[in-house]
Chains A and B, each alone.
Chain A
Amino acid sequence: MRVLAVSNLYPPYWLGGYELICADVTNELRARGHDVLVATTPSHVPGPPDPPHVRRCLRLSAHVPHYAVSADDLRSVHASDTSDLDNVFALHRMLGEFMPDVVLLWNLHGIGSLHLIDFLNVHRVPWAIYLGDRVFEQLVNAAPAHVNAIFRGGDPGYFASGGIMAVSQHLVDEITGLGNFAFPRPPTIVHGYAATSGSFAKRTWREGGRTRFLAAGRVAEHKGIGLICDAVSSLLKDGIGGFEVDIFGDGDVAFYVNYANSLAISRCVTFHGAVAKRQLEEQYRSHDAFLFPTWAREPFAFAPIEAAAYGCVPILTANCGCAERIVDQVHGIKIERSAAALAAAMRQAIDGTIALDRIGAAAAAMVRSDLTFAGHVDKIVGVLGEQCRPWDRSSIDDPRAMLLPFIKHHLSLAFRTGTTN
C-alpha cells in the first residue's frame, strides 16, 4: 500500500504517545514493505536529518504547551482546528505527487483539521484516522456550527467515509459523551501496545524487602505527579518506610522538585528527567509497581502497559483509557484518582498485601500476548486495507481543485468574524 500519513508532530519533537506511535507505525509499515510518506510540521528539537519519507511541509498554528494561541486571535484559532489554507494546498500537492492508496490521519490539532478531512472527502480520497485523542470532538467544537457547516463539520455522517480507529473504548465514550459528535459507526478499537525487546525475563519483586515505585511520562499535574507526592507524604507521616519512588520524564520538573522539598519527601522521591526508551525498560525490570494516578481523560497511555510487559505492576486510575485492558487485582491495581487511594494501594504493595509477583507475571503475560506492537499494526493495516479503493486522480488535477478550498477558507473566516463581503 501507498500510505500518506498526516500528523501535526513527528519526532524528534514530540509531546506524548500520539506522535511516537505515528513514528513507530510508520517505520513498521515501511519495514513490512508498504510505501509510506509522512506529511508533518517542522521540528525545533535537534535530531538527525529527516529521512526522505518525512516531509515537513505543514504549518502548526497551535498545540505546543504553554504557547497556545489566544482565544481572541480568531485567525490562528481558525487555522488550528478549522481551516489552514496553506496546509490544504500542501495536502493537495502531496496527493498529486505521491498518489497514495490511502491517507492515514493522526493528530490533526493545530493544522486545520476540519478542512483537511473535507478536502479528502470532496475528492473522494480514501482515508482513515487513528484517534489517540479527542480529535473529532475538537474539530467539531472548534468553531461555531455555522462556520463548521462550510466543511460539513456538524454532520457525523460526513466522516463515515473514513476508517476510524481509536485507542480505547474509553476515548470513544468520552467523545460521544461530550454530545457534539456521534460516530457514524463503531470505530475499530486498536488498544495500545508494548514494544518489548526480548522475552519476559524472570525477575523478583520487593527485593530486599524494599518496594520500588516508578512513574514515567510527562511530569505534569494531569498525570498525577502531585498526587504521587501527596501520597508519599501521607505514607511517611504514617511512619511507612521501606520504599522509594523514581520519576522519569520531562515537564514541570522544577516545580515538582520544589513541591517534594516542601513536603520533605525528597529522600524517597527522585526526579530523573527523561531517559531513553531502552533505559526505561531497564527501570521497569527493577521496579515493582508503576504509579499512574492520571486524569480520567487519558485516552490510553502506553507507559503503564510497557511497564506491565516487564512485570512492573500498574497502579492506575480506574477509569482511564488503558485501564480497560487491565483486570483489577489480576493485571494491575485500579484506584480512584486521589492521593488517599493511591497511598492506600502503595501501602498494600509495601506491606505485601498485594501479591505483586502474581499480578506482575500475569500482567506481563497479558501484554506480551494481547498488546503486541505487531498485533497493533496488523489491526491498522486491516483498516487501511478496507479503505483502499481506486480514486480519480483527475479530481485533484482539475484546474479548479484549489479554488474551492480557497473559497471555503475565506468564507469560513467571513462567517467567523462576521464580515459581510
Chain B
Amino acid sequence: MGTPPRLRVAHVSPAYFAEESLIGGGERYVSNVARALREAQASLPFSLSQAVFALGRKDAAFCDGEVPVTVFANENPAPDVMAGMSARLWHVLGDFDIIHVHQALTLFGCYCAAIARSLDKTLIMTDLGGGECRLLLEHGGLHLADGILSISQFAGSLVAPYFRGPHAVIVGPVDTAMFAPPATPRRRREVLCVGRLLPHKGIDRVIDALPESLPLRIVGRPYDKKYHALLMRRAAGKDVRFVLRADDAELLQCYHGAGLLVHAATHVDCYGHHVSKPELMGLTTLEALATGLPVVVANTASLPELASDARFSRVFDDVDDLRAILEEFAAGLWPDAGAAELARRHAVERYSFPVVGRQIAEFYAGVHAERARS
C-alpha cells in the first residue's frame, strides 16, 4: 500500500481571532476552518497538514487547536490592516502546496495572491469581507486564483461574475462541540443579539422592535463608539443589557440563557449608509443553532440561507415584521416545542467541523488535482 498523497495547506489572513487583533466572524472563520480540516482528517483519503499565517502589530506564535499559528508584524506603514503585508510570507509559503487566502478581496489578499502565483502554488481565495479590491475584481486579479471558496450563496454571487474557474459554496463550519445545547432548560424569554456593535449589524432595529414584555441581551465588542451611544439611547426604558467583553465561555452562557437569537444585519444602516456586504455568512447564527437556539434573521445578504426551516428559524423584512415575530415569540406561539433539537441536529448535520472540514478538504484536493492536470 502506497503512502497516501499529502496536501500541505497554508491559511493566510490579515488578522487573527484575538483581543489584540480582531474579534470578528472573518477571523473566527479562519480558526474554524483549520480546526474543521483537522477533525475531518481521519475521513479523508489523503493526509493534510496545515498552518495559519496572520499579520499583527508584533510577531507571535501559538497553537490554535494544535494548528500552528504564526503572526508576523505588519510591514506596511499604512494604517489599514487590510493593506497589511510581510515579506516573510515569501519564505514560509514556499513550503506549502495550497495557499488559502482569507479576507481575499483586500490589498493583503492581492499581495498574498501575487506571492502564491509567483511561487507556483495552488491558490484558493475566500472573501470574508474587509474590502472590495478593484485590482482583484474589476481588473481580473481574481483569475490568479485556482479556486474560489465562498462561505454563502450570497458571497458567491458577488465574486462569480469575476471568476470562471472552480468555485464552491460551503457554509460553515461552526464548532458544534463547543457550542452545544445547555444541560439545563433555557430561560426561554430572553432575546439575544451577538455581533460587533457596528451600524450594519442593525442592532438598533432589534431594540426598536422589542416588545415591552421581552428582555434583550446584546453581546459584542463596541467597535463604534457613536453607534454604541445610539444603542444606549434607544434602549432607555427597555429591558436591554449590554455584554461588551464576553469571552467564549460567557458567550456560550448567553446562548444557553436565551430563548431566541436575532440577527438583524442590514444593507442600509441607521445613518442611511449603504453597506454592500453586511453579512457574508452569519457565524453567530450558526453558533446559536448549534446550541439549539431558534433564530430570527433579517432578509439581508446571506442570512436567509441559514433560515431554511421555519420550525426553528424565521426571516424578517423590516422592523414591523420583526416586531410581529417577537410578539409571536413572547406569546409562546412560535417556535414549537422540539425546535431546539431540530436546530441542533440541523447545525451538526450541515455545518459541523467534520462535515464542512471534509467538504473543504475535498475542494482543495480537487482544485489542486485539476491544476496539476492542466
Contact = CB atoms under 8 A, between A and B. Distances in A.
Interface of A: 118, 121-122, 144-146, 149-150, 152, 154-155, 400, 403-404, 406-408, 410-411, 414-415, 418, 420-421
Q: Which of B77, B91, B110, B143 has the most CB of A within 10 A?
A: B110
B144 interface: yes
Contacts of B76: 146, 415
B132 A407 contact: no
B145 to A, nearest CB: 10
Contact of B83 (A400, A406, A420): A420
Contact of A411 (B82, B107, B132, B143): B107
A414 B141 contact: no
Contacts of B114: 150, 404, 407-408, 411
B117 A150 contact: no
B107 A146 contact: no
Contact of A415 (B107, B132, B134, B136): B107
Contact of A403 (B83, B111, B131, B140): B140
Nearest to B140: A403
Given A149-B90, A154-B87, A407-B113, A420 B118 contact: no
Contacts of A122: 117-118
A400 B139 contact: no
Q: Which of A155, A407, A415 has the most CB of B within 10 A?
A: A407
A180 B77 CA distance: 19
A411 B135 contact: yes
Contact of B107 (A118, A154, A403, A420): A420
A420 B144 contact: no
Interface of B: 75-78, 80, 82-83, 85-87, 90-91, 107, 110-111, 113-114, 117-118, 131-136, 139-141, 143-144
Contacts of B139: 406-407, 410
Contacts of B83: 414-415, 420
Given A149-B87, A407-B114, 10 more contacts: A145-B87, A150-B85, A152-B87, A155-B87, A407-B144, A411-B114, A415-B83, A420-B80, A420-B82, A421-B107
10 contacts: A122-B118, A144-B77, A146-B76, A146-B87, A149-B85, A150-B85, A152-B118, A154-B87, A403-B141, A421-B107
B78 A418 contact: yes
B107 A407 contact: no
Contacts, number: 78
Nearest to A400: B143
Contact of A407 (B77, B90, B131, B141): B141
Contacts of A407: 110, 113-114, 135-136, 139, 141, 144
Contacts of B140: 403, 406
Contacts of B135: 407, 410-411, 414, 421
B192 to A, nearest CB: 35
Nearest to B131: A421
B75 A145 contact: yes
Contacts of B134: 421
Contacts of B133: 421
Contacts of A421: 107, 131-135
Contact of B111 (A404, A406, A411, A420): A411
Q: Which of A122, A145, A149, A152 has the most CB of B within 10 A?
A: A149
B111 A150 contact: yes
A407 to B, nearest CB: 5
A152 B110 CA distance: 15
A145 B136 CA distance: 23
A152 B90 contact: yes
B110 A411 contact: yes
A400 B118 contact: no
A162 B143 CA distance: 29
Contacts of B82: 420
